[in-house]
Amino acid sequence: KIVRSLQPGANIAICGPDIRWVGNEAGEARESEYCVVPECLTKAETIEKSSQHGEKDAEKLLKITSKDEDLGSRKVLKKNAFLKWYPAEVDVSIRKGWFASKDNESTVKSAKKLFDIYLNSVGNNSFLLLNIPPDNRGVISKKETKVLKNLGKKIKEITANPVYEKNFGELKKTDGYLEFNFGRPTKLKYCILKEDIRKSQRVEKFDLYLLKENGKYKKAYSGTVIGMQKIIPLSGEVTGTALVIRQSRSTPILEHIGFYE
């Protein structure tokens, strides 16, 4: 109530009413991380905590919990009368534990590991909360500072060399198959897809193909949800690509498609 009155534009996370806990603290998101989920998930942890009979009895009161693998498929949604836009937040610490000490100094994650977590969260229709604990002087360690600088560099490199970028909007029924010709051999590193989430999350299944110099397409990636953002790592020299949307809840609305070398 205090947050709503003093900061009405703020989002309340970590099992709050606005942003959903992904269900673990290991920096892992689901393969299909939906934003539209059963409304009862907003109360899942509250019910479990308030149960007087322990965790097992609390689970009996819940149709679904934040740790379930499937939170947003059609099968799950049709069993729930009320739905909510409730995107996931991936929580993880840069080191073992949430507080700094000499005992966990050696457990600081590498920039490569954090980058993988970034791709699996921010690049997988989720938010990322990266815990970076200061020491008892209020100082971030030099080791962590170096790691974070390298992480920032890796993130910037994703979109540093665009080959093709376009904002699409609502696709027609005939646009479920999109081709992109680059006009030259290109060593692709990433593809970024974004839906216009102002119109909800729609895409449920898609395939990405790479056009080789021999004129033949090769499937590079099969995905499910896109949502806020899907970052797909790629490799190999190609002359073009094709995006095939296999299944969608109503007509897909793609805010952005980008390919980067």
Kindly give, in sequence order, each residue whose CB lies less than 8 Å from that of residue 65, ignoring residues fewer than 6 positions away. Answer: 23, 41, 44, 48, 59
For residue 186, count CB atoms less than 10 angstroms from its CB and return exposed for 0-12, middle for 13-18, buried for 19 or more: buried
**pLDDT tens digits in sequence order for the chain, 261 residues long:** 999 999 999 999 987 899 999 999 999 999 999 999 999 998 876 655 544 555 554 444 457 888 999 999 999 999 998 999 999 999 999 999 999 999 999 999 999 999 999 999 999 999 999 999 999 999 999 999 999 999 999 999 999 999 999 999 998 766 689 999 999 999 999 999 999 999 999 999 999 999 999 999 999 999 999 999 999 999 999 999 999 999 999 999 999 999 999
Predicted local distance difference test score (pLDDT) of residue 174: 65
Strands 162-166, 253-260: pairing kind = antiparallel
Give the count of beta carbons closer than 10 Å to the beta carbon of residue 30.
Answer: 21
Residue 259 one-letter amino acid: F
The angle that helices 142-158 and 111-121 make with each other, rounded to 10 degrees, is 50
Strands (E), 24-135: 36-38, 83-85, 88-93, 126-131
Q: What is the pLDDT of residue 176?
A: 81
Q: Phi and psi at residue 196, in whole multiples of 5°? A: -85, 95
CA 34, 35, 38, 40 dihedral sign is: positive
Note the maximum CA span of the chain.
66
Q: Which domains does the chain have, with CATH numbers?
A: 2-158 (3.20.20.80), 162-260 (2.60.120.260)
Instruction: Please state the pTM of the whole predicted model.
Output: 0.91
Whole-angstrom CA distances from 44 to 19, 58, 192, 253 are 13, 9, 33, 31
